[in-house]
Amino acid sequence: MRLQPSLISSTKRNAAYAADTEFDRQHLWHPYESAQAAELRPLVVAAEGVYLQLADGRQLIDGMASWWSAIHGYNQPRLNAAVSTQLQQMSHVMFGGLAHPPAVALGQLLLELAPGHFDQVFYSDSGSVAVEVALKMALQYWRGRGQPERQRFLALRGGYHGDTFGAMSVCDPVTGMHQLFRGGMPKQYFVPRPSVPFGTDCDERELEPVARSLKRHGQHIAALIVEPIVQGAGGMWFYSADYLRRLRELCDTADVLLIADEIATGFGRTGRMFACEHAALQADVLCLGKALTGGYMSLGATLCSATVAAGVNASEARALLHGPTFMANPLACAVAAESVRLLLESPWSERVMAIEAGFKSSLEVARSLPGVADVRCLGAIAVIELREPPADPALLQRRLLDRGVWLRPFGRLIYAMPPYTIERSELEQLASAMVEAAR
């Protein structure tokens, strides 16, 4: 559904918008960009369904769902109502020493829905902070168990877990930011990226580096952290569920905790409610974010088992040492609870499978293009991997905008993960823009 003209703000004239984009270019820092951008950025003034409305009148299909988060699309009436209703009650109250109904309602839903047996929920501000909390939980757990020497983490190459220092330290050491910040970052252990693709079994050789690392360093490792099934920002790679299953076995043998970072994959994106379900994986700690609030606002959650919580409680602090000012923000919890209910009441699984089927058939032609190395789709995620990065990324971006879609290719990847509510014709437009961009 396209935006109705009446929804588009008419309070600003074009000249004012032009001034806004110029101010933005000169003074506002954007993700991973230099202080003064070379180009003006499209100014979004409204959004509805899968469309972004630009100030200059163009409407773009959002193929990014605002970085995996807007799974229901924009301006969703039930989510709007959840925020407005909560706003009338209270927008925020500290969580230190106080409780409130939205946090309870969301906690109940998450513990019911999470893959496996989790017992405790810790709310935080964002995905990266949810990862920091997970790392702290693991470190404090081992202190509680009388093994304070377990200070390190094991991670997969090609992983991405966020931009704060602890999270950065478990991101891929080459494509991550290790070089730049190495002076201030904890040192971790890494094993090669799983090379076995999704849908195939893996043999022992694939797991050897993990087994070796756990054997050699296990007594210093607090946890293994993984993005289950989909390595997102580190390369949009879909790997074997069999590999994931065996990671659990290896962790059990080495008595090492397993942290599943489902910040990108949670809430249906891979075709299962959680990617862990592809491997029937029970993690010890689970990180959630992004789609948790349906993309309405920032919220992270870290869940852990009763065993992990008991270990943390047994540590000398007798408490988990983290407590953000905006922990369990009531507006965020209220909209997150409604987003989860909306998802459960929707035919989300059919929608995600239809997106997968649509992408598979529409992107097939890209496979034979000379510059294309691979095309892969899983759930509501589609990737065209080029052989080389585009010579002129800004030109590629303009071509996509000209075709009425919003995508943000990085490196050799042109990829999409649209809202689940995208319609067939919109999906076709998105896919054909990806193919033309690759061409």
Ligand X SMILES: Cc1ncc(COP(=O)(O)O)c(C=O)c1O
Binding ligand X (rule: CB under 6 A), the pick from 121, 131, 309, 384 is 131
Pairing of strands 300-304, 120-124: antiparallel
Distance between CA 395 and CA 53 in Å, rounded? 21
Give the pair of three-digit tokens for residue 181: 């910040």
Among 138, 233, 377, 382, interactor with ligand X by CB under 6 A: 233
Nearer to ligand X, 400 or 417 (CB): 417
Burial class (CB in 10 A: 0-12, 13-18, 19+), 197: middle
CA distance 271 to 186: 35
Closer by beta carbon to ligand X, 170 or else 427: 170
At which residue do the structure tokens 């081992």 appear? Answer: 142
Contact 340, 113 (CB under 8 A): yes
Interacting residues with ligand X between 316 and 375 (CB under 6 A): none
Q: Which amino acid is at 330?
A: P
- Separation of alpha carbons 65 and 415, rounded Å: 12
Q: Residue type for 82, please? A: A
Are 339 and 81 contacting, i.e. CB atoms less than 8 angstroms apart? no
Least Å distance, CB 261 to ligand X, is 5
Nearest residue to 377 via CA among 236, 245, 195, 235: 236
Residue 48 touching ligand X (CB under 6 A): no
Q: Which is nearer to ligand X, 17 or 326 (CB)?
A: 326
Q: Which window, 37-45, 124-132, 178-186, 213-221, contacts ligand X (CB under 6 A)? A: 124-132
DSSP state of 218: G
**Quick one: DSSP state of residue 96?**
S
Q: Determine the length of the chain.
A: 439
In this chain, which of 73, 102, 127, 266 binds ligand X, going by CB under 6 A?
A: 127
| 358 Cα distance to chain centroid | 22
Site for ligand X (CB under 6 A): how many residues?
A: 14
DSSP 164: S
Q: Is 303 in the site for ligand X (CB under 6 A)?
A: no
Q: Is 162 in the site for ligand X (CB under 6 A)?
A: yes
> Contacting ligand X (CB under 6 A), which of 70, 156, 263, 335?
263
Report the catalytic residues: 32, 160, 261, 290
Residue 131: phi and psi, rounded to 5, are -70, -45
- Out of 100, 136, 150, 161, which residue is the one contacting ligand X (CB under 6 A)? 161
User: What SS3 class is residue 183?
Assistant: helix
Closest residue to ligand X, judged by C-beta, is 127
Does residue 264 belong to the site contacting ligand X (CB under 6 A)?
Answer: yes
Q: Which is nearer to ligand X, 120 or 128 (CB)?
A: 128
Are residues 367 and 375 in contact, defined by beta-carbon separation less than 8 angstroms? yes
Name which position in 48, 132, 261, 426 contacts ligand X (CB under 6 A). Answer: 261
Closest by Cα among 265, 269, 261, 268 to 286? 261
Residue 126 near ligand X by CB under 6 A: yes
Cβ nearer to ligand X, comparing 3 with 407: 407
Nearer to ligand X, 218 or 232 (CB): 232
Contact between 295 and ligand X by CB under 6 A: the answer reads: no
Contacts to ligand X from residues 408-437, by CB under 6 A = none
Binding pattern for the stretch 265-294 against ligand X, x by CB under 6 A and - elsewhere: ------------------------x-----
Q: Least distance (Å) from ligand X to the CB of residue 298?
A: 7
| 122 touching ligand X, by CB under 6 A | no
Among 227, 356, 385, 426, binds ligand X (CB under 6 A): 227
To ligand X, the closest distance from the beta carbon of 41 in angstroms equals: 19
Which of 191, 207, 179 is CA-nearest to residue 154?
A: 191
Question: Which residue(s) pair with 239 in the sheet?
Answer: 197
Q: Which stretch binds ligand X (CB under 6 A): 188-196, 261-269, 397-405, 423-431?
A: 261-269
Minimum CB–partner distance for residue 438 and ligand X (Å): 23
**Piece of the chain touching ligand X by CB under 6 A; list 120-128, 182-190, 387-395, 428-436:** 120-128
Instruction: Output 55 or 247, the one with its CB closest to ligand X.
Output: 247
CA–centroid distance for 102 within its chain: 23
What residue ranges in 292-349 does DSSP mark as E strands? 300-304
Question: How many CB atoms lie under 10 A from the CB of residue 112?
Answer: 10
Give the residue with the Cβ less far from ligand X, 160 or 243.
160
Q: In 37-55, which positions are buried (b, 16+ CB within 10 angstroms) versus exposed (e)?
A: eeeeeeeebbbbbbbbbbb
Nearest approach in angstroms of CB 355 to ligand X is: 19
Residues that bind ligand X (CB under 6 A): 126-128, 131, 160-162, 227, 232-233, 261, 263-264, 289
